[in-house]
Chain A
C-alpha cells in the first residue's frame, strides 16, 4: 500500500461531502435542526416558570394580606393576579387552568398576624403541572417568608440562624446559561446523526452500493469517508453556537477551546459510530430515519438536559452511561461555566472514546458481513 491518504480516500471524502451539500434532503437536515433548536429550544425549552397567573381569595382585606398580594403581584415571575370571592370560583379557575395557584386569606388573617398568633396563608396549586406548581410554591414561600420577617411583632427571631446560599458558576441562576451549553451538545448530536444514518442506507436505496463495493475501496476507507461529513457538520454547528453565543446570549466560556474541540470530536465520533450502526443495518432511508429517531429520542432524554440524570432509576442510569451525550453534556457544562480542568475533561471523554471504538468496530464488522 502506498500512502494512506491516497486518491481513493480523497475521492470518497470529497464525494461524501458533495452528496451532503447537494442533496436537498440532506441540506434540510443541515439547516433545519440548528434553526429550530436555536429559536425553539433556546427560548421554549425552559424549565423556568415565568408569567404565571395567580389567583387570590382575600376574605381578610387587611394590611398583611394586602402586603403579600402586592409583593406577589410585583414578582417578576408573576404576570398577573386574579381575584376571586368564592371557593367555587377558585376551584373552577384551577380546574380550567386559568391560574396555577390560588392564595387564600381567612377573614382573621391580618388580625392573627398582628396578634402574633401564627397566621396561615392557604395556598392551593394545580398538581397536574407538578413541576411548575412546585417552583411557584417556592416563589410564594420566599415572598411570605419575606413578609413574615418584616412583621415586627416577634420578639426573639422565630428560628435562629440563617443560610447563605451562593450559586457558583451562574450567580443569577440564568436559565440560558444552562440551555446554551446543552444546545451545543444537542445540536451537534442531531445534525451529525441525521446525516450519518442516511449515508449507507441511501447508497442501498439508490443502487450505488454495489457500485461502491466493486470498486477497490477498503471498508475503512468507506467508513472514514462516510464519517467525515457528519463530524465536520457537527463541529461546524458547535462552532456556530460558540461564535454566536457571546453576541446573542452572553453565556461565559471559561474553559479552554483546546480541551473543548478534542472532546467534541470524540463525542461526534461516538455519535456517528452509533448512527453508522443504524445505517448499516437499515435497508432503506425510511428504516434508517425511524431507527435514528428511536435512538436520538432516548439519547436526548438521557443526556441530562431534559431532566437530571440523578433522578432516574439505577438501571436507566446504567443505560445513560452508554449515551455519549450524557458525558459530553458534563464536559460542555464544565467548560462553559466552570472552567473545567483537563483531568476532568479527560475523565468524561474516555467513556465516549470507548463507545466510538466499539460502535465503529461493530459497524465495520457488520458492513463487511452484510455485503449481501
Chain B
C-alpha cells in the first residue's frame, strides 16, 4: 500500500538530494576536483609515447664515417645524447640511471664501412625493458637509415626483399594520450557512480537521517530511485565536463557522436550506481564504504579493465577476473567513440554485458536495502 510509488514523495526526496549535492562541498570535490586531477595525471603524467631516450655515446673511432654516424645520433629526435666518453665511464652513468643506453661506435668502424659493412654495439638498460627494446630497435633503425643513405649515395644498395608498411588506424601518430584520456573518463564515472554514491548513502546511515526517513511511508523503491537519479545526472555532468576538456585541452579527437557517448555512459552508470548502492547498503559506514568502493570499483577500473594494461597479456586466472569488472566493457567503447567513431557492432555486445551487471547489482542493492536497522 504505502510502498507503491508515489510521485509526490519521490519529488520531495529528489529536491532534498539535489539541494544536498549543491550545498555539500565534499560532494562537489569528489565529483569535479578529483576527476580533474585524474584527467590531468593521465593527460600529462602518463605517457607511453616513444620516448626521447637519454643515452651515452662512446665514439672509439675517429674516421669520417664514425663521426658522421655519431652526428646522426646526436641530431636524432629519438635520442638525447647527454654524455660521451669511455664505456666504463658511461656504464656507471647507466648504473646510476642517468642514461638508459650506450651506443658504441667501435675502433675500426671506418675501415669496416669502407669494406662494406660497419657494425655498432648498443648496450641498453634492461631494468626498464620497454625502453631498452625501443632503444635497441631505434638505434638499429637509425644506423640502417644512415648506412642506407651512404650506400644510396654510391649506388651500391637496393631495397630489402621484403619490408613492412605499417599503418596505425585511428591514431597514426600513436599518441598514448588518445587512449589514456578516454580511459580516465571511465575512471571518473566510477568515482562518481560508485565511490560518491556509496558515500552519500552511508552518510545518511551514519547521521541517522535514514532512520527518520524510513519511519515515514516512503517506499524502498522511491528511496533507491532518489539516490540513483541525481547521481546519475551528476556523473553525466562530470563525464561531459571531462570529455570537453579531453577534446579542447588535451586534444583528443572525438570521432563518434555525442549521442553514442551519452548512451555508452548511461549503460555504464547502471552497474556503477548499482554497485555504489549495494556497497553503502551493505556497509552503512562512510569509511568502510570508501575503502570497498576503491578496492572493488576504482582499482579494477585502473588495473583490470584494459585501460592501461593489456588484458590479453595477463595470466589466465587474472584474465578470468577481468570478466567480472564492468569497466572492462566500457573501456573499448570509450576508446572507440572518441578516436574511432560510432561502431555499434562493438558497442552493443558490451552494452548488453553492462546492463546485465546493472541488473545484478541493483538486485543485490535492493535486497540489501531493508527498512530495518540492524
Cβ of A302: which chain B residues have Cβ within 8 Å of it? 41, 45
Q: How far is the CA of A136 from the CA of B290 in the complex (A)?
A: 39
Nearest-CB residue, chain B, relative to A24: B288
Given contacts A167-B124, A173-B129, A312-B45, contact A159 B318 (CB under 8 A): no
- Of the candidate stretches A9-17, A113-121, A239-247, A257-265, the one touching chain B is A113-121
Q: State whether the Cβ of B224 lies closer than 8 Å to any Cβ in chain A.
A: no
Q: Which of A81-89, A227-235, A286-294, A361-369 contacts B (4 or more CB under 8 A)?
A: A286-294
Task: Give chain A residues whose Cβ lies under 8 Å from the Cβ of B304.
Answer: 40, 44
* Residue in chain B with minimal CB distance to A285: B287
The one of A47, A51, A168 that contacts B312, using a Cβ cutoff of 8 Å = A51
Q: Say yes or no: is A3 at the interface (Cβ < 8 Å to chain B).
A: no
Q: How many residues of B contact A (CB 8 A)?
A: 104
Binds B, one of A210-218, A272-280, A329-337: A329-337
Task: Using CB atoms, name the residue of chain A closest to B115.
Answer: A160
Contact B164 A128 (CB under 8 A): no
Knowing A46-B309, A51-B313, A159-B144, the reply to whether A128 touches B123 (Cβ < 8 A) is no
Is the CB–CB distance between B96 and A95 below 8 Å? Answer: no
- Is there contact, CB below 8 Å, between B159 and A164? no
Say if the beta carbon of B48 comes within 8 Å of chain A. yes
Inter-chain CB contacts under 8 Å: number: 341
Check B163 against A49 for contact (C-beta < 8 Å).
Answer: no
A253 is an interface residue with CB less than 8 A from chain B: no
Inter-chain contacts of A219 with B (CB < 8 A): none
Instruction: Kindly report which residue of chain A lies nearest to residue B48, judged by CB atoms.
Output: A131
A79 to B291, CA, bound (A): 37
Residues of A within 8 A of B168 (CB): 125-127, 130, 133-134, 137
Task: Give every chain B residue within 8 A of A79 (Cβ-Cβ).
Answer: 312
| Inter-subunit contact B158/A140 (CB<8 Å) | no
Q: Mark A193-220, 1 if CB is under 8 A from B, else 0.
A: 0000000000000000000000000000
Are B167 and A122 interface neighbours, CB within 8 A? yes
Let me know if B160 is at the binding interface, CB within 8 A: yes
* CA gap between A298 and B40 in the complex, in Å: 10
A281 CA / B122 CA spacing, docked (Å): 51
Instruction: Identify which of B139, B143, B174 contacts A161 (C-beta below 8 A).
Output: B143
B147 contacts across to A, CB distance below 8 A: 159-161
What are the residues of chain B within 8 A of A122 when measuring CB–CB? 165, 167
Contacts of B95 in A (CB 8 A): 334, 338-341, 344
A127 & B45 in contact (Cβ 8 Å cutoff): no
Contacts of B124 in A (CB 8 A): 165-168
Cβ–Cβ contact A125 & B169, under 8 A: yes
Whether the Cβ atoms of B96 and A130 lie closer than 8 Å is: no
- A342: shortest Cβ distance to chain B, in Å? 12
A53, A285, A301, A333 interface centre (most CB from chain B within 10 Å): A301
A238 in the interface, Cβ–Cβ < 8 Å? no
Q: Does A256 contact B (CB under 8 A)?
A: no
Q: Which residues of B contact A285 (CB under 8 A)?
A: 287
With contacts A113-B161, A113-B162, A297-B41 known, is A130 near B176, CB below 8 A? yes
Looking at the assembled complex, report how far the CB atom of B92 sits from the nearest CB atom of chain A, in whole angstroms. Answer: 8
Q: Does B120 contact A (CB under 8 A)?
A: yes
Q: Does B332 contact A (CB under 8 A)?
A: yes
Within the assembled complex, what's the spacing in Å between the Cα atoms of A225 and B197? 36
Beyond A95-B340, A160-B117, is A165–B136 a contact (Cβ under 8 Å)?
yes
A313 at the interface (CB under 8 A from B): yes
A257 to B101: give the CA distance in the assembly, Å.
26
Docked-complex contact A128 and B46, CB < 8 angstroms: no
Within 8 A of A (CB), among B131-163: 131-133, 136-137, 139-140, 143-144, 147-148, 151, 156-163
Given contacts A128-B336, A134-B50, contact A45 B303 (CB under 8 A): yes
16 additional A-B pairs beyond A169-B127, A297-B37, beta carbons within 8 Å, are: A46-B314, A97-B346, A123-B167, A131-B179, A144-B164, A147-B162, A158-B161, A159-B160, A165-B139, A168-B91, A293-B34, A297-B38, A306-B46, A308-B47, A334-B97, A336-B127
Identify 13 residue pairs between A and B in the complex whose beta-carbon atoms are under 8 Å apart, listed by A's number: A29-B291, A48-B129, A48-B310, A53-B312, A128-B178, A129-B310, A138-B137, A148-B161, A163-B119, A173-B129, A178-B129, A289-B290, A330-B97
| Cβ-closest 4 pairs across A and B | A170-B126, A127-B171, A165-B136, A161-B118
